[in-house]
Structure 1
Amino acid sequence: MERSRLLECLADDYLRLRTVAGRDLAAPVPSCPDWTTADLVRHVAEVYLHKAMTMRAAAFPDPWPPEHLAAEEPVDLLDRAYGELIDEFARRSDGDATPTWHKPDQTVRFWIRRMAQESVIHRIDAELALEVQVAPVPDDLAVDGIDEVLKLFVDYGTHAWPGEFTTALGAAKGRTLAVRVTDGRAWLVRTDPDAVTVTDAAPSALSEADALVRGAPAPVLRWLWARESVPTADAQPPVTVEGDEEALREFRSVLVASTQ
């Protein structure tokens, strides 16, 4: 996705999060156990500020978060943090150097993409908490988010920090799982005891996978992040999940370890 498009999505989802969560800061967030919407808003604000300060200082701030942030009201803190984040992005080009947790990509663009994806998932959290209709996730943002969670959180994460996935991958046997977006991209996921490998795949090459997850972009993104709406008895599931149950359980276990 282009920089301008990512920033547009980031702006939309920051505003949606602010608007929805601001209606009731005491509401519990079902997708983030033990959090209220106030905790959710404060978390996003602290993430924004952390990235702004990282770019400004060319180093990760430590310790984090500063104690004085607790004195600010959550929505006020979110507004200030978003302003500082956007200001730092505006001062820099995509290729400018900055520390990130992804060693192959130490550029500002990494954080622009990451903050856009962080924001869409957490505004969905707010919508689920307030039990309001989840606003549409644009297809381009959803497909980019699927690619990010599979390749960065799952593939890179299991290779970079293998000790965090010992339980999830302890019984892995080289099973494969396909993730396919309706009329669009597809990914092949292979789980081995030491790590998970994710590759782009042609839809025609997925027939041999042990399991399959497929659907429109937004529902698949939400499924990967466990941000699905509560199903109703007469509703058709928006994501089709089929195949080897062990492969599916193993993949879900890796997702949980990768994204929490």
Structure 2
Amino acid sequence: MQAWVLACVADPGGSEARGERPPKVWEEIVPWWDDKRAALRRAFDAGPDTPAQMLFPFYEANLGAWARRQAHEVAIHRVDVELAGRQEATTFDTAFAADGVDEALSMIIHRRGTDWSAVGASGTVLVHAEDARRLWSLTLAPGQPPALAAPAEPDVTLSGGADAVYKRLWRRPADVSITGDAELLDPLETP
């Protein structure tokens, strides 16, 4: 992923960045990855408004958007590593986790490449990150992607601390409260 982002930074006006492929020799992979990680950190020093090719049309084409996307990508995979090692998963800061919830609900979920024609869910979902004091209301209609909407009487509510809601939306174990028709949460799971 870091090599892909670096290619997007190197060619901000391009349309199909391809990052350098990792080496095939196992002993060379970690040093290669360390080099890409360091190069990406240096690239981010250019500032958030620096143009960068963005292959997701719903994000701004700049380093700030890539920094946000990378932060949440790495955070969720960190949880995966911790859980695979049978460790307790990291608890994320409330503001960071709430931003991850917002990214999932406002960008990732309803704009992913899903064929929504097969989704028959209908109703209103309320997502509440209690400690962040943030609410997201989504309307589900058959054959349509979930749409952010003005708060309405929900058919299901997903609530808990921002960290728990963030992890639940990314299909990781989390201590959340679900009230109502839990099946309506299925279309909201991240890819």
TM-score by length of 1: 0.65
1:139 partnered with 2:88 = no
Per-residue deviation, 1:138: 1.0
Residues 165 and 254 in structure 1, CA contact (< 8 A), matched pair in contact too:
no
Look up the match of 2:185.
251
Residue type at the aligned position of 2:85: L
CA–CA distance in 2 between the matches of 1:138 and 1:75? 29
- Among 110, 113, 117, the residue aligned to 2:72: 117
1:221 partnered with 2:166 = yes
Per-residue deviation, 1:65: 5.9
What aligned pairs does 1:1-260 form with structure 2 within 5 A after superposition? 47-58=1-12, 59=14, 60-62=16-18, 66=21, 68-73=22-27, 74-90=29-45, 92-104=46-58, 105-157=60-112, 161=113, 164-167=115-118, 169=119, 171-173=120-122, 175-183=123-131, 184-192=133-141, 193-199=143-149, 205=151, 208-228=153-173, 238-244=175-181, 248-255=182-189, 258-259=190-191
TM-score by length of 2: 0.86
4+ residue runs over 6 A deviation: none
Q: 1:249 to 1:84 in 2, by over 3 A?
A: same
CA–CA distance in 2 between the matches of 1:65 and 1:187? 38
Identity %: 22
CA–CA distance in 1 between the matches of 2:66 and 2:84? 26
CA–CA distance in 2 between the matches of 1:57 and 1:212? 43
For residues 190-223 of structure 1, give each alpha carbon's deviation from its aligned partner in whole angstroms, at most 9, with x where no partner exists: 1122221024x6xxx45x1100000001111111
Higher helix share: 1
CA–CA distance in 2 between the matches of 1:146 and 1:70? 36
SS at match of 2:35: helix
SS at match of 1:102: coil
Flag structure 1 segments of 5+ consecutive residues without an equivalent.
1-46, 230-237
CA–CA distance in 1 between the matches of 2:155 and 2:55? 31
Per-residue deviation, 1:85: 1.0
Residues 95 and 109 in structure 1, CA contact (< 8 A), matched pair in contact too:
yes
